[in-house]
């Protein structure tokens, strides 16, 4: 029981750290705009980090689905498995429509994608590891095929980072499957990867060491290949193909993003084993309220900044400072809320509606 508690704490710690990354990236994107170029070490580092925290969230969501369905999958209890599937479908529907309602406010919404990922995951819960690896590979490669035959930039206004035609059938289909912020191809591969990871006991130190070394090696190889070959790809007019950036998400990004997420998760599990949880609870509680913080940082923080006239065309330093400051306030809110309630506000709403 103790190992299980530590493992869950490690996952929540990873979510808490990802919340900070989410704030930094989202405030940076909105406050700097879509056409500002990255110059200097820190701006380039932040550009390279775009999408990585979303990957971490999605991988953790896949892990959560595997943990949630572990008992019926292991015991073959069909009734319990059906109950879990029903609950997952309810949550998928909730997140999908919540995301659509949120989209007019936040075009980079990921909630409706979560709904799609979870809904599809219901159908592959009992697949073997080999089948899941194959599915993740196919999902990744389908994006490459789509990129070859279709215009990936169709519908995008790069000046405002907005997508036109989302509410049309063709535009919505393209945005969902191919060229949105987190389209099914290839982003569902991260969810599948998380489902695979959730089947292993990462509190096993030997397994964790092996997993960390493999994750670090894959990340370094992908980033090295991308760095060394990028100039040649630019000269040939094919700058995207060996890129590890998230936009567009080519296979090297999928490999590097998934591997780096595993490395972060394993480090977080190690931290929860070495440091008393009472010192980590502020971040752990924040990680347990991801849905709340995701929605609140847009409808509260960005709304306040817009009212002050400080939301657009701001320096990078100011955007990062705002993100860090709001993260501190989010930690305080999480601590105060958890002193009286076990679930965050939006998490409670979802539980009330979905069960």
Query: What gap in Å lies between CA 181 and CA 113, rounded to an integer?
Result: 9
- Secondary structure E strands in the chain: 156-157, 162-163
pLDDT, tens only, 6-33: 458 999 999 999 999 999 999 998 988 6
Q: How many Cβ atoms from other residues are within 10 Å of residue 107's Cβ?
A: 15
Instruction: Specify the pLDDT at position 6.
Output: 45
Instruction: Specify the pLDDT at position 16.
Output: 97
Q: What is the mean pLDDT of the chain?
A: 91
Q: Which residue range forms the structural domain that includes residue 130? A: 2-354
pLDDT: is 4 or 119 the higher one? Answer: 119
Split into its structural domains, the chain has a count of: 1
pLDDT, tens only, 126-160: 999 999 999 999 999 999 999 999 999 999 988 87
Which H helix or E strand runs over 165? none
Instruction: Specify the pLDDT at position 221.
Output: 96
pLDDT at 236 over 90: no
Instruction: Specify the pLDDT at position 234.
Output: 61
Q: Can you tell me the mean pLDDT for 327-338?
A: 97
Q: Can you tell me the mean pLDDT for 243-253?
A: 92
pLDDT, tens only, 163-177: 999 999 999 999 999
The residue whose two tokens read 């980072």 is 161
pLDDT at 193 over 50: yes
pLDDT at 65 over 50: yes
Own/partner pairs, 312-319, CB within 8 angstroms, 24+ separation = 312/30, 312/31, 312/33, 313/31, 313/32, 313/33, 314/31, 314/32, 316/28, 316/32, 316/42, 316/43, 316/46, 318/31, 319/24, 319/27, 319/28, 319/31, 319/32
| High-pLDDT (> 70) share of the chain, % | 92
Tell me the pLDDT band of 119, cut-offs 50, 70 and 90. very high
**Going by C-beta distance under 8 Å and a sequence separation of 6 or more, which residues neighbour residue 43?**
316
* pTM for this predicted structure: 0.94
Instruction: Specify the pLDDT at position 77.
Output: 94
Contact 134, 111 (CB under 8 A): no
Tell me the pLDDT band of 38, cut-offs 50, 70 and 90. low
Residue 74 φ then ψ, to 5°? -75, -35
Q: Can you tell me the mean pLDDT for 121-126?
A: 97
């Amino acid at each position: 029981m103790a190992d299980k508690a530590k493992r869950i704490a490690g996952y929540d710690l990873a979510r808490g750290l990802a919340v900070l990354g989410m704030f930094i990236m989202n405030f940076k994107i909105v406050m700097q705009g879509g056409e500002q170029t990255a110059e200097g070490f820190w701006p380039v580092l932040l550009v390279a980090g775009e999408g990585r925290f979303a990957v971490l969230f999605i991988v953790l969501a896949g892990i959560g689905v595997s943990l949630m369905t572990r008992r019926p999958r292991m015991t073959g209890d069909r009734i319990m498995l059906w109950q879990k599937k029903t609950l997952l479908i309810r949550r998928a529907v909730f997140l999908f429509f919540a995301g659509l309602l949120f989209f007019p406010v936040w075009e980079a919404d990921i909630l409706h994608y979560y709904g799609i990922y979870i809904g599809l995951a219901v159908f592959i819960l009992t697949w073997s590891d080999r089948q899941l690896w194959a599915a993740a590979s196919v999902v990744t490669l389908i994006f490459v095929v789509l990129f070859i035959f279709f215009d990936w930039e169709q519908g995008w206004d790069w000046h405002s980072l907005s997508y036109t035609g989302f509410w049309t059938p063709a535009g919505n289909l393209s945005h969902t499957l191919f060229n949105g912020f987190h389209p099914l191809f290839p982003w569902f591969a991260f969810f599948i990867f998380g489902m695979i990871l959730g089947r292993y006991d990462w509190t096993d130190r030997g397994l964790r060491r092996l997993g960390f070394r493999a994750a670090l090696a894959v990340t370094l190889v992908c980033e090295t290949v991308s760095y060394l070959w990028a100039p040649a790809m630019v000269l040939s007019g094919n700058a995207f193909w060996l890129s590890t950036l998230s936009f567009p998400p080519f296979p090297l990004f999928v490999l590097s993003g998934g591997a780096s997420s595993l490395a972060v998760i394993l480090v977080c599990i190690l931290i929860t084993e070495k440091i008393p949880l009472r010192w980590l609870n502020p971040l752990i509680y924040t990680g347990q309220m991801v849905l709340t913080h995701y929605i609140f940082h847009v409808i509260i923080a960005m709304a306040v900044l817009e009212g002050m006239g400080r939301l657009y065309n701001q320096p990078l330093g100011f955007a990062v400072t705002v993100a860090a400051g709001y993260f501190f306030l989010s930690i305080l809110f999480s601590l105060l809320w958890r002193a009286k309630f076990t679930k965050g506000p939006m998490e409670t709403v979802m539980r009330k509606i979905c069960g």
